[in-house]
Amino acid sequence: MSLRQYISFTIDDILFGLDILLVKEINKKLDVTPAYDVSDFVVGTSNLRGQVITILDIGCRLELQPREVTSDSRVIVLKSEQELSQHHKSGRLTEHTSEDSVGIVCDHIGDVIELDDRDIQPIPANFSIVSAHFANGIYQMDETLMIMLNLGAALAVEEAGNATS
């Protein structure tokens, strides 16, 4: 039995889950400087205690409606690959984030949920909420599904964009 904790959050009323080990912090409101001539899902940058982080609208990457950063929005600041290296070496974590500091905009933060890996089911063949490429699995919660976000796949274009800059 392998228990893991996941933070739940919503984008466009769709419930997502993300391994808590990937999360550095959650911010209620960050001042975002808009970015121009970048991928559609790059909202801008923000100064977080002296560190510049890129703010991403992961919903755009998932082919959902673009987010407008409002006072109700939340930003999940992710740990960088360097910060996650110990978890990768120990085998506790296989998911990847970004070499740089990034934050993802979401509409609402839910609870931290502890799950057994066996409770996460594979993506059904007829799954159409988001591309199966961006999901590691699903978890049935009462009357709703929580999509376990494949963060590495969702951030892959951002990494490719940085490589060509």
| Gap between the Cα atoms of 93 and 86, Å rounded | 9
> What's the start-to-end Cα distance of the chain, in Å?
44
Per the domain annotation, does 3 fall within a domain? no
Does a structural domain hold residue 43?
yes
Domain boundaries, position 99: 10-164
> Using the 8-state DSSP alphabet, how is residue 89 labeled?
H
pLDDT at residue 157, rounded to an integer: 59
Give the pLDDT confidence score for residue 165 in this predicted structure. 39
On whether residue 4 sits in a domain, the answer given is: no
pTM here is: 0.88
The CATH number given to whatever domain includes residue 116 is 2.40.50.180
Domain assignment of residue 5, yes or no: no
The total domain count for the chain is 1
Question: Is residue 78 in a domain?
Answer: yes
| Nearest by Cα to 59 from 38, 43, 77, 70 | 43
Is 143 part of any domain?
yes
pLDDT in tens, 118-140: 999 999 888 888 888 899 999 99
Domain membership of residue 1 (yes or no) is: no
Q: State which H helix or E strand residue 74 sits in.
A: strand 74-78
User: Exposure of 82 by Cβ count < 10 A (0-12 exposed, 13-18 middle, 19+ buried)?
Assistant: exposed
